Amino acid sequence: MKKMLAIVLALMLVFSATAAFAADYEIVSKGFQHQYWQAVLAGAQAKAAELGVEINFVGPANESAYDEQLSQLNSAINAAPKAIGLAALSTETCLDAIKTAQESGIPIIGFDSGVPGAPEGAILANCATNNYNAGALAGEMVYAAIKDRIAAAEGTVRIGVSAQDAVSESVTQRGLGFIDKIGELAAADGYTVKLEGNEKYVNDAKVESVDDGKIVIETLVPSQVTAELSAIDCQNLLNKSDIIALYGSNQHSAEAMVTANENLQKLGTGEGQVIGAGFDSGAVIKAAVADGTFLGAITQAPFAMGEALVDTMVKAANGEAVEDIDTGCQWYTAENMNDEDIAINLYD
Amino acid sequence: MQKQLSEKRGFANNPIVRAIGLQRIVVVLAVILEAVLFSILSPAFRQYATVVSILDYSYYITFMAIGVTFCLISGGNDLSVGAGMICYALAGGFLVQHLGWPVWAGMLVTIAIGLCFGVLNGAMVAIMNLPPFIATLCTMLITRGLGSILTGGMAVSWPSRNSEGGWFRSLFKIINNGKIIPVGFAIVIFFIIVMSIVLNKTRVGRYIIAIGSNKEAARLSGVNVIKYQMLAYIISGFFAGLAGIAYSATFSSSVAPGTGAGLELDAIGGAIIGGTSMTGGQGSIIGTLLGVFVMSLLKTGLPYVGLQANWQQIITGIVLIVAIYIDVLKNKKTA
């Protein structure tokens, strides 16, 4: 019994010591599952060191752990920091906490996909990739690569989109940006488009879908986010006889394309091969771009995003005016991926 | 009517049918039916690459399912294999990717951690007498959290096929000049044979079956119940570790912390469809393999015939209800 009491007391001491540490700035991310977040963290730490401020960077175990993120946000508010950085997994879940922060006068700066749908004035500024524009950039690059094939095709041609989900703001915007850009460029060339697959993407795209469209854009979303189900989706798309391009709108989906292609060997830039485009980096996607399996991929600027976030948080805490910052994105290929300005944003 | 019934009984009593097992015959027919149906409905399905993919995606589930079969037969269950498999693969992969350990050492660590959690599960169930469902649910949570802590929350990439250390992927699939050989199936078959022998021809298997049939009777007959009940969970831990390696070798994707929970249902489902009893005392390893194929074929085949995402879950759920109902009927008959 005495031993148990000693252990409990020791644990309480550890917890109180932890609680006593309070950083000037609290950053609540979506977790560290993808190396992307490590690059955001590195950028934030670099800027914090430059400005001489202390940051506490946290995130939940995975991107479905809404409650865990809420608890981290509440802890951040309780620590009474000068400002909070927040990449919300679900705005709805965080609403009450955001109101509490607002009432306590703690400025919140959104980052990554930000805090879409937050109450007016709750988020002072967002430091984020414009995901819709990033998806559109992928669409533009893919369309340029398949333009001649569309013109030469007698029947329909199909462009596949593998999306991790139809809920997350960042993933859906990247998909919709891609679909809309293909639709826009196709219309300019006089082609019609038919949208197939997941209803969210079919309904929310700005493209007018016609039944006998020359270009079919099919978006598949797995019932669960597992490597297996996304790979099966990609395989299914790659096996369609009229497929000419496939796009994976985040690291998970792009890696699933690589898994699916291992047995089918259909992706590539050569004659008759299917053009592949990915999103984000990581060792698998970088290798696919380098060896020509993918035409290219979009990388966000996570390091710059981390830097911009801390910079904006400090400005907001000092009462300076802050505004939204598009931290940008780049299209990288085997040719330019080692250029200094791109390589800094690619991670393993 | 009477004649029809006696004919049915006659089929079930046929010595060949009795030797193979009626449920196993039904499962084999289900696998064949699925393969034929999907092949007819989708030309894209009937190709070698699809067969290889089905095999690729079945390895890790089969390994988990072999282990779970032992737990189920012992009258328990192991819900930790899904999250555990990812945790063990994360730990092994982290050592390889970030600390420069050789791949073989990372693989050994993956299996060793699986074994440790098997011992923990076994101790909780056999020594502490915790309900298996609760005990392994707790280790599911522990392994899920531990995977994140060990890797700092980061996803881990085991070496890719063409990089240094990528040889381990060839244990499951050889790709040479565009030719693909799914050698992993040979490994699966090896373990199916070995574990079938362990289950049916050794003291370990017979005692585990005896414990699952009637724990008290087994104890009174002099069986060391604690030892053999623990062994069932240790076997499950070993195979969860092996599943972690198979998962890392067959998917190009990085292994992400926080994932894996839910994958145990594929393994448990496969075992039940294959004829393993939920109440213990009955089951076979070959049946489990077939059950896993019923699930894998559904998962791969349904998208090919245009049934998307949520339909796959509904149909898998229905198949499981049928399998469990057959188990209930069998138990009634035995009682």
Mean pLDDT of chain A: 89
Is residue B41 in a domain?
no
CA-nearest residue to A229 within chain B is B299
The CA distance from B49 to the nearest CA of chain A, in Å, is 5
At B294, list the tokens.
């019923």
Q: What is the CA radius of gyration of chain A?
A: 22
The whole-angstrom separation of Cα B249 and Cα A283 is: 15
Chain B from 126 to 165: CB within 8 A of any A CB: 144-145, 148, 152-155, 157, 160-163
**In the predicted model, what is the mean pLDDT of residues A338-343?**
89
Contact check, Cβ <8 Å, B258/A31: yes
Question: Chain B residues with CB inside 8 Å of A34's CB?
Answer: 155, 256
pLDDT confidence of residue B1: 46
pLDDT bucket at A335, cuts 50 / 70 / 90 = very high
Distance CA A214, CA A207 (A): 13
- Mean pLDDT calculated for residue range B20-32: 83
The percentage of residues in chain A with a pLDDT greater than 90, rounded to a whole number, is: 68
**Contact predicate A284/B157, CB 8 Å:** yes
- Output the pLDDT for position A223: 83
Q: Which residues of A touch B263 (CB under 8 A)?
A: 226
Is the CB of B57 less than 8 angstroms away from the CB of A232?
A: yes
B68 in a structural domain: yes
pLDDT of residue B12: 63
- Between CA A87 and CA A279 the distance in angstroms is 19
For B49, the closest chain A residue by CA position comes to A263
CA distance B313 to chain A (A): 8
- The whole-number pLDDT of residue B325 equals 85
Residue listed under structure tokens 């970030």: B98
Contacts of B83 in chain A (CB under 8 A): none
Asked whether the predicted pLDDT for residue B129 surpasses 50, the reply is yes
User: If contacts are CB pairs under 8 Å, which of residues 140-199 in chain A contact chain B?
Assistant: 197-198
Average pLDDT score over residue span A247-267: 94
Q: Tell me whether residue B57 is in a domain.
A: yes
Neighbours of A96 (CB within 10 A): 12
Residue B38: which H helix or E strand, with range? helix B22-41
Q: Token match 């006659």: residue?
A: B10
Q: How far is CA B71 from the centre of its chain?
A: 11
A197: confidence class by pLDDT, cuts 50, 70, 90: very high
Whether B42 is covered by a domain: the verdict is no
CB-CB under 8 Å, B304 with A236: yes
- In 3-state terms, what secondary structure has residue B201? helix
In B, residues 13-52, which contact A (CB 8 Å cutoff)? 44-45, 47, 49-50, 52
**Chain B residue with Cα closest to A241:** B44
Percent of chain A with pLDDT over 70: 94
Nearest to B310 among A62, A223, A284 (CB): A223
Q: How many domains does chain B have?
A: 1
Mean pLDDT of B297-316: 83
Tell me the shortest Cα–Cα distance from A265 to chain B, in angstroms. 8
Determine, yes or no, domain membership for B3: no
Whether residue A341 is predicted with pLDDT greater than 90 in this model: the reply is no
pTM > 0.80: yes
Percent of chain B with pLDDT over 70: 93
Distance from CA of A103 to the nearest CA of B (A): 32
* Residue B57 lies in domain: 51-334
The CATH code that applies to domain A131-300 is 3.40.50.2300
Chain B contact set for A197 (CB, 8 A)? 308
Q: What is the average pLDDT across B115-121?
A: 98
Q: What is the CATH T-level fold of the domain A2-129+301-328, as seen in this structure?
A: Rossmann fold (3.40.50)
- Mutation site, B253, B259, B307, interface A, largest A CB count within 10 A: B253
A260 touches chain B (CB under 8 A): yes
Q: Which of B63, B60, B58, B53 is nearest to B180 (CA)?
A: B53
* Segment holding B176, helix H or strand E: strand B174-176
Question: Rounded to a whole number, what is the distance in Å from the CA of B112 to chain A's nearest CA?
Answer: 24
Q: A30, A239, A273: best mutation site toward chain B, by most B Cβ within 10 Å?
A: A239
What confidence tens digit (pLDDT) does each residue in A212-242 have? 999 999 999 998 888 899 999 999 999 999 9
Chain A contacts of B152, Cβ < 8 Å?
A: 32
Q: What is the pLDDT of residue A18?
A: 42
- Give the C-alpha separation, B58 to B42, whole Å: 21
CB contact under 8 A, A61 and B144: yes
Instruction: For residue B310, tell me if it sits in a domain.
Output: yes
Indicate if the pLDDT at residue A315 is higher than 90.
Answer: yes
Range(s) of chain A covered by CATH 3.40.50.2300: 2-129+301-328, 131-300
8 A C-beta contact, residue A246 and residue A267: yes
What are the pLDDT digits (tens) for B215-271?
999 999 999 999 999 999 999 999 999 999 999 999 988 888 878 888 999 999 999
Q: What is the pLDDT of residue A46?
A: 93
Give the nearest partner residue to A255 out of B145, B252, B299, using CB atoms: B252
Choice between A79 and A31, residue whose per-residue pLDDT is larger: A79
Indicate whether A116 pLDDT > 90: no
- Asked if B254 lies within 8 A of A283 by C-beta distance, the reply is yes
pLDDT at B155 over 90: no
Q: Where does the pLDDT of residue A117 fall: very low under 50, low under 70, confident under 90, or very high at 90 and above?
A: confident
Min Cα–Cα distance to chain B from A290, Å:
12
Which two three-digit tokens encode residue B87?
């945790």
pLDDT of res. A6:
52
Q: Is residue B165 part of a domain?
A: yes
The complex's ipTM works out to 0.84
Residue B26 within a domain: no
pLDDT reading at B9 higher than 60: no
Instruction: Name the residue facing A284 among B253, B299, B308 (closest C-beta).
Output: B253
